[in-house]
């Protein structure tokens, strides 16, 4: 994908947006369903799997590790190998652009006597892996290179030792990799996190039959998995991705007169910080028709435009909206007053340095944005005039966030390349079109 020529795109000021739509399946849950399907015995049937590059790469990776994956009438069927049953891949495991695919798979491989070469695209090859490799090494994983970044060759072992590990960074990827590895260790493996991060791994592990305990320890979140686990294949219905829905919600919040409903979205509270913030800014946001599917809460999210006001987004909220800061910044450009987003250190190590890319993108539209340490400050109201081109740095969310900003700006907003939108939301431009957004190729 990184080899193809860039695809520039434009967003034009649009009239009121309206409609009831669905967004594709949640990316985090899709990766985990495939991986747990591979680690379970029997067949895991997944409906609503996100069919986007990141997740399809994970499907190919688990096939290379010995699971069987078939797609029948839109349902993915994974025939698993059981914990400890994965086999040596015949070639390198290519994760493309996906940090989640790569880091979680490191944990999956750790408990197997398997050597694998892990590779990815230029963006992924710049991202830090030590945060995952340090705890996995303590458990017994071998790493050939003394390096922080891909490509890397790792060697798992069937005699993994359980650990107790306090994560220095708030990261569900690190937590999940350790828990996946813990399935194959004998004894209890515990991850302690200062702030709770998304808990899909814990929920899905329980659903597949593993023993997982959560407890509060000195104000921190401790998650323990019991090793030598046996998982059983289960049906998984993947709910709509709240991080993808955020683009539609943001568009409705920005464009006067809009009302958009996104049906069947995951509303797990470890993921809904963006919607809380949007409400605080004054948008009319409701979660209707709440229900639960395979251990995850779901609702229909309705967003109606209202005048917006700048807010302070506290650092403690960052894990629950970590992927939504670029699009929140786009919304903040249309609020009266300043929006301060605090505690954003982790944004620097995403698919791009999102703190820098967001500030630069706003500046290119005549907006005022300032980075002060780990805080991003966006001056609101009429500061985003549009008319500029945004550099997306192989980052899907930067591309989508600024196209959303363009729907409310005075002049068209250009992004230099929307190729990477295919990693998480291939139907983005088409879906936005159905609610009335004016997006077009340049
Ligand atoms: C994810 C966790 C987050 C998030 C990523 C998906 C996951 O990353 O940014 O898009 O599925 O566990 P970190 O855990 O590194 O914060």
Q: What is the mean pLDDT of residues 408-415?
A: 96
List, for residues 379-411, the tens digit of each pLDDT value: 987 557 899 999 999 999 999 999 999 999 999
**Would you state the pLDDT for residue 3?**
63
Return the ligand 1 atom nearest residue 201 CA. Answer: 12
**Ligand 1 center to 256 CA (angstroms):** 32
Ligand 1 pocket residue status of 100, Cβ below 6 Å: yes
The pLDDT of residue 442 is 80
Q: What is the whole-number distance in angstroms between the Cα of residue 257 and the centre of ligand 1?
A: 33
Q: Does ligand 1 come within 6 angstroms of the Cβ of 250?
A: no
pLDDT band at 209 (very low <50, low <70, confident <90, very high): very high
Cα–Cα distance between 367 and 333 in angstroms, integer?
7
Q: What is the pLDDT of residue 371?
A: 97
Q: Where does the pLDDT of residue 367 fall: very low under 50, low under 70, confident under 90, or very high at 90 and above?
A: confident
- Residue nearest atom 15 in ligand 1 by C-alpha distance: 171
Q: Which helix (H) or strand (E) holds 35?
A: helix 27-39
Provide the whole-model pTM: 0.98
Q: What is the pLDDT of residue 382?
A: 58
Report percent pLDDT > 90 for the chain.
96
Query: What is residue 214's predicted lDDT score, i.e. its pLDDT?
Result: 98
- Assess whether 323 carries a catalytic annotation: yes
- 244 CB within 6 A, ligand 1: no
Contact 46, 236 (CB under 8 A): yes
Ligand 1 pocket, 172 CB below 6 A? yes
Mean pLDDT along residues 96-120: 98
Which of 94, 323, 395, 417 is flagged as catalytic?
323
Better-scored residue on pLDDT, 227 or 3: 227
User: Phi, psi (5° rounding) for residue 13?
Assistant: -50, 130
- Stretch 266-294: mean pLDDT: 97
Region 279-305 average pLDDT? 97
- In whole angstroms, give the CA distance from residue 248 to residue 287: 15
pLDDT at 350: 98
User: 16-52: buried (b, 16+ CB within 10 Å) or exposed (e) per residue?
Assistant: ebeeebbbbbbbbbbbbbbbbbbbbbebbbbebbbbb
């Amino acid at each position: 994908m990184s080899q193809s020529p860039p695809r520039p795109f434009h967003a034009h000021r649009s009239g009121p947006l309206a409609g009831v739509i669905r967004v594709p399946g949640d990316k985090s849950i899709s990766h985990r369903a495939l991986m747990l399907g591979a680690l379970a015995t029997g067949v895991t049937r997944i409906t609503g799997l996100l069919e986007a590059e990141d997740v399809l790469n994970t499907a190919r990776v688990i096939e290379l590790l010995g699971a069987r994956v078939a797609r029948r009438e839109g349902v993915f069927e994974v025939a698993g190998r059981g914990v400890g049953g994965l086999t040596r891949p015949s070639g390198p495991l290519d994760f493309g652009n996906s940090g989640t695919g790569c880091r979680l798979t490191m944990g999956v491989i750790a408990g197997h006597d398997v050597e694998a070469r892990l590779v990815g695209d230029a963006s992924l090859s710049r991202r830090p892996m030590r945060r995952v490799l340090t705890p996995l090494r303590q458990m017994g994983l071998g790493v050939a290179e003394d390096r922080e970044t891909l490509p890397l060759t790792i060697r798992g072992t069937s005699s993994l030792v359980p650990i107790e590990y306090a994560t220095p960074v708030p990261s569900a990827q690190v937590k999940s990799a350790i828990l996946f590895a813990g399935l194959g260790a004998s004894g209890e493996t515990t991850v302690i996190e200062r702030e709770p991060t998304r808990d899909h791994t814990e929920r899905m592990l329980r659903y597949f039959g593993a023993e997982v305990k959560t407890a509060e320890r000195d104000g921190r979140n401790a998650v323990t998995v019991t090793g030598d686990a046996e998982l059983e294949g289960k049906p998984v219905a993947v709910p709509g991705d709240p991080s993808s829905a955020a683009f539609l919600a943001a568009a409705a919040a920005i464009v006067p007169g809009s009302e958009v409903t996104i049906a069947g979205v995951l509303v797990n509270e470890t993921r809904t910080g963006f919607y809380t913030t949007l409400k605080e800014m004054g948008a009319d946001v409701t979660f209707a028709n709440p229900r639960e599917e395979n251990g995850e809460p779901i609702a229909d999210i309705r967003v109606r435009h209202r005048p917006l006001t700048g807010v302070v987004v506290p650092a403690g909220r960052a894990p629950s909206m970590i992927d939504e800061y670029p699009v929140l910044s786009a919304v903040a450009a249309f609020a009266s007053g300043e929006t301060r987003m605090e505690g954003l250190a982790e944004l620097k190590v995403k698919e791009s340095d999102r703190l820098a890319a967001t500030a630069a993108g706003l500046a290119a539209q005549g907006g005022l944005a300032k980075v002060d340490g780990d805080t991003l400050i966006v001056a609101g109201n009429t500061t985003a005039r549009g008319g500029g081109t945004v550099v997306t740095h192989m980052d899907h969310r930067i591309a989508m966030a600024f196209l959303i900003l363009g729907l409310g700006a005075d002049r068209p907003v250009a992004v230099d390349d929307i190729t990477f939108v295919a990693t998480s939301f291939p139907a983005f431009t088409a879906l936005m079109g159905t609610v009335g957004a004016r997006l077009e190729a340049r």
